Each structure stands twice: as structure tokens, then as C-alpha cells.
């Protein structure tokens, strides 16, 4: 982690800021000890500069957040909203002299409504905590990032995060129905709705989702829920090449879109093929890293391991059908889990992937390139060529069902030459993604890490329009400055 130690904030300014903050906040909500504030300086991204916060503020109420923003506006002090800081693009990194506004203490689930299928939560609620709470009510909140045990709903909204279930259930943006947002000047604005339908005015809710705290501070969210599906079963398919595994993904997704005629035992129903609840890919490098970290006994002889899950009424039948598609694509072995316990073990291996890759060389740069599913094989082949060219270990784990790849560059941060090669390979991977008709980020956000690449993807007119939107909501430019563009 690279932390910039540029000019520290003036003591007089800091003193005035802290005094103003304490006028509307309890003493334990304002932290100024340099050793403590330094721990709030950055998220989990490498190669992203971070400054020194003047103070860290941990509010518990909407009114306290409003007080922070009014104070920041009056003194022209930047504010960096933060959740659990599990992000991977530097989007929560502090700027010098800023208020690091940590929302982790605003962690109440305010409502779970089983009739309206909504939950109302504060931004500091941990994703897994919400998922378990709604599960007890027979409901389901689908977005489940790999960091779901620690990441917060506010952070998920800020980066428009995804997860393992995207292929069937979609991403965070599809579940955020309404928001309460504290604007830069301290005013409170409500967007969206809690009804099943609603098209009144511009969709400001979607505007805030993925805005990385640059337009306002989310203090409450109305989230859509689904009925709890049956417990899923998962199969693992081994392939001798990444190309074969990607061919299997294409076959599965093509079959999903094909109408299936009623068969004996279907009760007269028709269905659109076999839609997996997850479709994840781990390359050989990733499989070995997970085994080295957790001794999980995954097959290291395979070049690519594909995990497919179903949470249907008859998951065994769906697994059998998808297993046949994998074999037709060249799978050397297909192993369906016998029960939910085996399925959860496979999913745990997938969730450990990024942690395991970090242990390979001590530091990682995690790309987040999403390409059309039909170009997934080209993406993996291209990454392998980049790894060879730069003499680096690059593992690939992917939400294969929606083409969202996470090429992960492993390197020694203490080796200047290896660090340089890591950064250059990272950029080449993003360029490859754009060449294949993809995007530089599917779910991690732009932050600091990909600012230059955002401009390349959306072009000068796109950047200008986004900057104008930013100016409307934050005319002084105090909300999360230096991010996105």
C-alpha cells in the first residue's frame, strides 16, 4: 500500500475543524490520534496514493452526518466517505487534511418487510449480516461479494458491487430501490421508492449507485428482496485448457436462453434452459494458490476449474444437464456435489481465491475487466500471454457467467523492477479488455487506480458530462476529491 505523506494539515486549521466537529458530535466519534487516523487512510488497493486525514469521524445518526457535511462545507474541507475499506481501487483512500467519514457505526437493520419484500438498512450493515437476517424471514438478498463477511451495504452501493450470484440474480444496482442521501451542503435528500414499480422523474437512485461517495453520503437504503430459493448444489468441472472451460460457459449460457419443451415429469411447465445460480471459473494458478493456503484438495492438474450451481427445485437434474454440456466442451472430469455441505466447500474455495493469490508474492493488483461472454476465452488467453511476457504470476478468477474476470497480478512490492512490471501488465490487461469490447471495471469501481482508463473508455464528452453532474451535487468539490476523474 502506497501512502502519500505530503504536507500535513495546518495545526490551526485542524484545531478549528475538530472544535467545530465536536460541537455536534460526541467525543468518541472524532478521532485525531495520528496512529489511529493512519489506519483509515486507504482501502485494499495497491499502487494508489493516499493522504493523511485531519480527523476520522464515526457518526451514528443522520443528523451527525449532516453536521459533518455542514462543517466541511463551511471550512472547505474534503470529506471521504468510507465503509469497511475492502475496496480494490483506492476509492476510499484519504486525501490530505480530509475528514475520513467512516459509516461503520451506522449499522442498524431498520426494517425487514416480508410482504413488500424490502429491507431498510443503514450503510454500515455488513452484507452477510443482512443476508442472514432476511434468510430467517424466508427472504433472500442476492448480491454477495467475495468480501461479504466484512464489506458493508454502503460500500456495496458506492461501488455497485456484484458477487457470485450475478449470472442469475444481477448486481447491487438492481436491488437498491431508494436512498436517503446527505448532500455536500448537509441537506438530506430522498430518492426512489419502496414500491414494486415507480418511474417518477429522473432515476437519481441509480445515479448514486456506483458514484463512489462523490455525489453524496448514503445514510439509509431501501433494498429489494426475493423469496428465499432452495439451497443450491454445485458441480466442479475440470478442463485441460482455459479455452475448453470458456467454451463450456458459452454452451451453458446459450442453452439457458433456449426454450425447452415440456418433458415427462415436468408437470406441463416449460423453462428457459438451465439458468445457473452461479458460474465461476478458477485457473490453474488460482487453484494451486487456494490449495497452498487452505489445503482444500482441489485438483491442481487441471488448467481451469469451472463451478456451476443451481438453486432450482431439482438441482441434481440441472447439474446433470450442465455436466453433459461441460463434457461436450471437453471437460476431463465432472464432479457434482452430493449435498449442500460439499457445495459450500467448493464455494469457500472460490471465495478464498483473492486472499490465496495475495499470499503467492505478498501483494496483488486485482484487475476487474468485464468482457462479453463470447470473448471470455480470448481474455484468458491474452492474460496468459501477458503473464509470460512480463515474467509474472497472474492468476485469473472470474464470474464466468457474466464475463467479469479478475486477473490478479502477484508481485513483490519490495522489488522495484517486479513492481514496475506488475503495473505495466495491469495496464495491458485493461487495454486488452477494451479491445475485446469490454469495460475496465465490472464491480470494483474506478477510484484512483483506473482514473486514466475511465477517460479512455467513455471518451472526452463522457468525462465532461460526468464532471458536470459532479458539479451540480458537489459544487465545491469536497466529496471524495481525486476519484473517478
pLDDT exceeds 50 at position 439: yes
> Percent of the chain, pLDDT > 90?
87
Domain boundaries, the chain: 11-102, 109-227, 230-350, 352-485
pLDDT exceeds 80 at position 264: no
Q: Which residue has the higher pLDDT, 54 or 164?
A: 54
220-250 pLDDT per residue, tens: 999 999 999 999 999 999 999 999 999 999 9
366-420 pLDDT per residue, tens: 989 999 999 999 999 999 999 999 999 999 999 999 999 999 999 999 999 999 9
Give the integer Cα–Cα distance in Å for 143 and 128: 10
Number of Cβ atoms within 10 Å of the Cβ of 258? 9
C-alpha cell of residue 157: 452501493
13-39 pLDDT per residue, tens: 667 999 999 999 999 999 999 999 999
**So what CATH class is 230-350?**
alpha beta
Query: Mean pLDDT, the chain, as a whole number?
Result: 92
Q: Is the domain defined by 352-485 classed in CATH 3.30.70.2740?
A: yes
Q: What does the pLDDT read at residue 265?
A: 39
Q: What does the pLDDT read at residue 263?
A: 43
Tell me the average pLDDT across 56-83: 98
Domain 109-227, CATH number (from 3.30.465.10, 3.60.20.30, 3.30.70.890, 3.30.360.10):
3.30.465.10
Number of Cβ atoms within 10 Å of the Cβ of 366? 21
Q: What does the pLDDT read at residue 12?
A: 59
Number of Cβ atoms within 10 Å of the Cβ of 381? 15
Strand partners, 393: 410
Q: What does the pLDDT read at residue 255?
A: 83
159-181 pLDDT per residue, tens: 999 988 889 999 999 999 999 99
pLDDT exceeds 60 at position 271: no
Q: What does the pLDDT read at residue 260?
A: 44
Q: What does the pLDDT read at residue 435?
A: 98
Q: What does the pLDDT read at residue 2?
A: 35
Give the integer Cα–Cα distance in Å for 485 and 482: 7
With 0.85 as the threshold, say if the pTM is over it: yes
Domains 109-227 and 352-485 share a fold: no
> Percent of the chain, pLDDT > 70?
93
Tell me the average pLDDT across 284-296: 95
Tell me the average pLDDT across 447-475: 96
Number of Cβ atoms within 10 Å of the Cβ of 124? 23
Give the integer Cα–Cα distance in Å for 87 and 236: 29
Q: What does the pLDDT read at residue 258?
A: 53
pLDDT exceeds 50 at position 5: no
Q: In which band, very low, low, confident or very high, does the pLDDT at 259 lie, cut at 50, 70 and 90? A: very low
Q: What does the pLDDT read at residue 275?
A: 87
194-203 pLDDT per residue, tens: 998 999 999 9
pLDDT exceeds 60 at position 205: yes
97-144 pLDDT per residue, tens: 999 999 999 999 999 999 999 999 999 999 999 999 999 999 999 998
- Kindly report the CATH number that applies to the domain delimited by 11-102: 3.30.43.10
Amino acid at each position: 500500500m502506497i501512502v502519500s505523506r505530503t504536507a500535513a494539515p495546518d495545526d490551526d486549521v485542524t484545531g478549528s475543524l475538530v472544535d467545530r466537529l465536536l460541537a455536534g458530535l460526541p467525543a468518541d466519534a472524532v478521532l485525531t490520534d495520528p496512529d489511529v487516523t493512519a489506519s483509515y487512510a486507504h482501502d485494499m488497493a495497491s499502487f494508489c496514493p493516499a493522504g493523511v486525514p485531519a480527523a476520522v469521524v464515526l457518526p451514528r445518526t443522520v443528523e451527525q452526518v449532516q453536521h459533518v457535511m455542514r462543517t466541511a462545507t463551511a471550512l472547505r474541507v474534503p470529506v471521504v466517505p468510507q465503509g469497511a475499506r475492502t475496496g480494490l481501487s483506492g476509492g476510499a483512500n484519504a486525501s490530505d487534511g480530509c475528514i475520513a467519514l467512516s459509516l461503520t457505526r451506522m449499522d442498524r437493520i431498520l426494517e425487514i418487510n416480508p410482504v413488500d419484500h424490502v429491507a431498510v438498512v443503514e450503510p454500515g450493515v455488513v452484507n452477510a449480516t443482512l443476508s442472514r437476517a432476511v434468510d430467517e424471514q424466508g427472504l433472500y438478498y442476492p448480491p454477495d461479494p467475495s468480501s461479504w463477511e466484512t464489506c458493508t451495504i454502503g460500500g456495496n452501493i458506492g461501488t455497485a458491487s456484484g458477487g457470485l450470484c450475478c449470472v442469475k440474480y444481477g448486481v447491487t444496482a438492481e436491488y437498491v430501490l431508494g436512498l436517503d442521501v446527505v448532500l455536500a451542503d448537509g441537506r438530506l435528500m430522498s430518492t426512489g421508492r419502496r414500491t414494486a414499480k415507480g418511474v417518477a422523474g429522473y432515476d437519481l437512485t441509480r445515479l448514486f449507485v456506483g458514484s463512489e461517495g462523490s455525489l453524496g453520503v448514503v445514510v439509509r437504503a431501501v433494498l429489494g428482496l426475493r423469496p428465499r430459493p432452495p439451497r443450491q448444489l454445485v458441480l466442479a468441472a475440470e478442463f485441460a485448457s482455459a479455452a475448453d472451460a470458456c467454451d463450456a460457459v458459452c454452451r451453458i449460457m446459450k442453452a439457458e436462453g433456449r426454450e425447452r419443451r415440456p418433458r415427462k415429469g415436468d408437470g406441463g411447465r416449460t423453462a428457459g434452459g438451465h439458468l445457473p445460480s452461479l458460474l465461476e471459473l478458477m485457473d490453474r494458478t488460482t487453484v494451486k494458490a487456494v490449495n497452498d493456503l487452505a489445503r482444500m484438495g482441489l485438483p491442481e492438474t487441471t488448467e481451469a476449474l469451472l463451478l456451476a450451481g443451481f438453486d432450482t427445485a431439482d438441482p441434481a437434474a440441472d447439474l446433470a444437464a450442465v455436466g453433459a454440456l461441460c463434457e461436450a466442451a471437453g471437460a476431463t472430469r465432472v464432479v457434482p456435489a452430493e449435498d449442500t455441505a460439499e457445495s459450500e466447500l467448493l464455494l469457500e474455495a472460490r471465495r478464498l481465491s483473492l486472499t490465496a493469490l495475495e499470499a503467492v508474492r505478498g501483494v496483488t493488483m486485482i484487475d476487474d475487466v468485464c468482457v462479453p461472454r463470447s470473448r471470455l476465452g480470448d481474455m484468458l488467453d491474452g492474460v496468459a500471454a501477458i503473464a509470460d511476457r512480463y515474467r509474472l504470476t497472474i492468476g485469473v478468477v472470474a464470474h464466468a457467467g457474466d464475463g467479469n474476470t479478475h486477473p490478479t497480478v502477484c508481485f513483490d512490492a519490495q522489488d522495484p523492477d517486479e513492481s514496475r512490471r506488475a503495473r505495466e501488465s495491469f495496464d495491458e490487461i485493461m487495454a486488452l479488455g477494451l479491445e475485446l469490447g469490454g469495460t475496465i471495471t465490472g464491480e470494483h469501481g474506478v477510484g484512483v487506480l483506473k482514473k486514466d482508463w475511465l477517460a479512455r473508455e467513455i471518451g472526452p464528452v463522457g468525462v465532461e458530462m460526468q464532471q458536470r453532474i459532479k458539479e451540480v451535487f458537489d459544487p465545491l468539490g469536497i466529496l471524495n476529491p481525486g476519484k473517478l476523474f
